[in-house]
Amino acid sequence: MKGAVLGVDTSCYTTSVACFGRSGVLYDGRTLLPVHKGDRGLRQSEGVFLHTRQLPPLVEAAFSAVSPEDIAAVACSRSPVAREDSYMPVFLTGMGVARALAASLRVPLLPLDHQSGHIRAALIGNEALMAKPFYAVHLSGGTTDLLAVEAREPGAFSIEPLGCSEDLHAGQLVDRVGVLLGCGFPAGKEMEALARQATNRDMRIPASVRELTCSLSGAETAAQRALHQGAEPSEVAFGIYDLLARTLTKLLTNAVRQRGERLVLLCGGVASSQLLRELLRERCELPLFFGESRFSSDNAVGVAALGYDREVAL
């Protein structure tokens, strides 16, 4: 009996292929898209080219780890979120490869969305959350979303958007300030290491939260101003993580007031930050759950797991 699902995800900055089976993650291969030092990202056309170049060796490695005969389905991220108007060219690359693989293997093709993949990846080890509706906070370079999530059927979530950032996203804020501080792109790991060097943690960048909506562009301006006024880079870096923790705490507190208390799952690349997790646990009294850090950044594990839930685990 075929017992594994192959997953493909081609996000803005990571090419990834994964296999998920009864024993969990059978293969997890990823390659970051290279960004020149000092740049703050890539054009979509550049991303498409890089994914096209980076996918074949990842697929080859996946088939070295898992026999093609064991593949029951091919799952793929075809869009950023689960909306009909959701579109980004980089996902076409992975979708094309996944379609060809499914046809070659004569197995079903499961088109999914990137956000659902992030949520499912963060649920590895936290599967008990799926028993009831929960809040999810998706933090990345393209999202700062507060969501009401419910597992309605195997391999599918009901996702209701509750709130978001009205300008910059959490990952954009970290990357922009990080590049300003001399970090590479994506800036998360270097930015966090720099923040942990701060001996003075008193910097308080004002948080801008209105009900279930936040604004982060002012935080970027405040960080720039602090640097120009002579603040230590490490203190500015810490101030950004502190600002994100306070912003998220306010959003979640408002959500509970409006919609009632639920367990909270944090997912997405920014949520992999151990410093952000520590600060959130200090400030937020709600029951918080985090995915494994290695499954928080962009990856194909989540879509592979969703495909397994839908096609194999029934």
Residue 76 falls within a domain, yes or no? yes
Q: Same domain, yes or no, for 42 and 68? A: yes
Residue 132 falls within a domain, yes or no? no
Half-sphere exposure of residue 61, counting CA atoms within 13 Å on the CB side?
A: 15
pLDDT by residue (tens digit) across 189-198? 999 999 999 9
Does pLDDT of 65 surpass 70?
Answer: yes
Q: Percent of the chain at pLDDT above 90?
A: 87
User: Which CATH number covers residue 21?
Assistant: 3.30.420.40
Res 137: pLDDT: 98
Residue 50 falls within a domain, yes or no? yes
Q: Same domain, yes or no, for 194 and 216? A: yes
Q: Same domain, yes or no, for 286 and 301? A: no
Q: Same domain, yes or no, for 121 and 186? A: no
Residue 247 falls within a domain, yes or no? yes
Residue 305 falls within a domain, yes or no? yes
Does pLDDT of 57 surpass 90?
Answer: yes
> What value does the mean pLDDT take over residues 90-113?
97
Task: Find all residues with CB under 8 Å of 260, minimum gap 6, and list them.
Answer: none
Q: Same domain, yes or no, for 247 and 299? A: no
Q: Same domain, yes or no, for 303 and 286? A: no
> What value does the mean pLDDT take over residues 206-229?
96
DSSP string, 215-271: E-HHHHHHHHHHHHTT--HHHHHHHHHHHHHHHHHHHHHHHHHHH----EEEESGGG
Does pLDDT of 89 surpass 70?
Answer: yes
> What value does the mean pLDDT take over residues 240-258?
98
Residue 138 falls within a domain, yes or no? no
Res 314: pLDDT: 60
Res 86: pLDDT: 85
pLDDT by residue (tens digit) across 156-185? 899 999 999 999 999 999 999 999 999 998
Does pLDDT of 313 surpass 80?
Answer: no
Residue in 13, 52, 49 with CA at minimum distance from that of residue 30? 13
155 confidence band (pLDDT: 50, 70, 90): confident
Q: Same domain, yes or no, for 268 and 227? A: yes
Range(s) of the domain holding residue 239: 163-290
The H-or-E segment that residue 87 falls in is none
* Backbone phi and psi for residue 305, each to the nearest 5 degrees, phi listed first: -65, -40
Tell me the pLDDT of the chain averaged across its residues: 94
Instruction: Tally the residues of the chain.
Output: 314
Residue in 47, 55, 95, 51 with CA at minimum distance from that of residue 75? 95
> What value does the mean pLDDT take over residues 191-215?
96
What's the longest Cα–Cα distance across the chain? 65
1 confidence band (pLDDT: 50, 70, 90): low
Residue 67 falls within a domain, yes or no? yes
Residue 157 falls within a domain, yes or no? no
Give the Cβ contact number of residue 225 at 10 Å: 12
